[in-house]
Structure 1
């Protein structure tokens, strides 16, 4: 697993490996299975934290490089993270899970009431996978990829300019921010290191968004130290093999 910031490590459970016994599956406990290094798993983890569900949804980290056989055989046949064990069912897919957590658990709502914001949220939701694919392709591509990256990040800058009642995509913090945050976080460091591409250059709205995002405690609790994450990512994948399918949620 990737190292997390030392101040957080003591409060986070250790990752389960092939040698780990399963928890008491389907005993009525709600469990969120994640991997600390996985951006997809970070999405529902943030949602859980933001809604104050730390005592209601148990966090169960899994070692992606040495995952337990029982995870696939007894819990989730797709063998991916994240997954959510709730009401004797297991659900997966990170975007579906953050909606499910918002709809089915108490805590601050993460979807807007304003119809215009709801419509824009759906547009950004639909674009998120395309955005991520641009980042992955650019990271592994040879030559100059600044044009493709410019188009993707300029779209994000424009989206952050649509509403003026706050620094987030819909003005206030929402599921849309949760969908994008783990990937912006990782690729800000990775693209600068691999492609010498600064995602913040000429994008003040994006810079402000990241600054304000880092003040959200629910998000900060899930962050891996950027340099540790960069080192782990490059060591695990290598730039030439770094691609979306390597991450558990889409494998």
Structure 2
């Protein structure tokens, strides 16, 4: 809608409008998930921090960017490429999923990406992994959880984490409905 375009000229989502002490005078709009998380950390310093300043967090961000890129390349835009390129994209994506599965086992004491506490990396990872979990079984006949028990454990932890499961978690029906739009 136009009010959103006026507020967020890029029309990107998600976006959060933060108000300061002076109400409308002191407001600012922030978009991009990681920038929103950083702003929440800054505006609420007494709350658990989401965007950690550790080498492990930075490494997890890089791994997620690699997985996201591979997942996007595998999931979309395959109509004009060769069968060899399709296979290469699929292999790369599966390798990234395997790398994440291994990292979830070796790099922390779980159940979340960096250990026992939910952090910003979990919030950043969930939209795409949730999409892959539900949509790729329909669009590619590919189950990202098959043979990846640690990703399954991570999803179990996310599904039992109230702020996620009670408010923003997608479900199979919704993702299936969204996927059907792409299959037309």
Common topology (TM > 0.5)? yes
Match of 2:24 in 1: none
1:48-127 correspondence runs (5 A): 68-73=1-6, 75-86=7-18, 87=20, 88-105=27-44, 106-111=46-51, 118-127=54-63
- Rate the CA distance shift 1:230–1:136 in 2: closer, same or farther, 3 A: farther
* Secondary structure of the corresponding residue to residue 91 of structure 1: strand
Cα distance in structure 2, aligned partners of 1:133 and 1:152: 10
Cα distance in structure 2, aligned partners of 1:230 and 1:134: 21
- Rate the CA distance shift 1:126–1:96 in 2: closer, same or farther, 3 A: farther
- Equivalent residue for 1:128, pick from 35, 41, 64: 64
Cα distance in structure 2, aligned partners of 1:95 and 1:135: 19
Match of 2:174 in 1: 228
More helix, by proportion: 2
Aligned length: 166
Cα distance in structure 2, aligned partners of 1:69 and 1:85: 16
* Secondary structure of the corresponding residue to residue 13 of structure 2: coil
**C-alpha contact 1:146 1:197 (8 A) present in aligned 2:** no
Residue 121 of structure 2 is aligned to residue 176 of structure 1: yes
Q: Which has the higher contact order (CA 8 A, sep 6+)?
A: 1
* Secondary structure of the corresponding residue to residue 47 of structure 2: coil
Cα distance in structure 2, aligned partners of 1:161 and 1:226: 26
Residue 162 of structure 2 is aligned to residue 217 of structure 1: yes
1:190-201 correspondence runs (5 A): 190-201=135-146
Q: TM-score, normalised by structure 2?
A: 0.79
Cα distance in structure 2, aligned partners of 1:89 and 1:109: 20
Q: CA deviation at 1:239?
A: 4.6
Cα distance in structure 1, aligned partners of 2:96 and 2:123: 18
Q: CA deviation at 1:111?
A: 4.7
Q: CA deviation at 1:162?
A: 3.0
Q: CA deviation at 1:121?
A: 0.7
Structure 2: segments with no counterpart, 5+ residues = 21-26, 80-85
* Secondary structure of the corresponding residue to residue 161 of structure 1: helix
Q: TM-score, normalised by structure 1?
A: 0.60
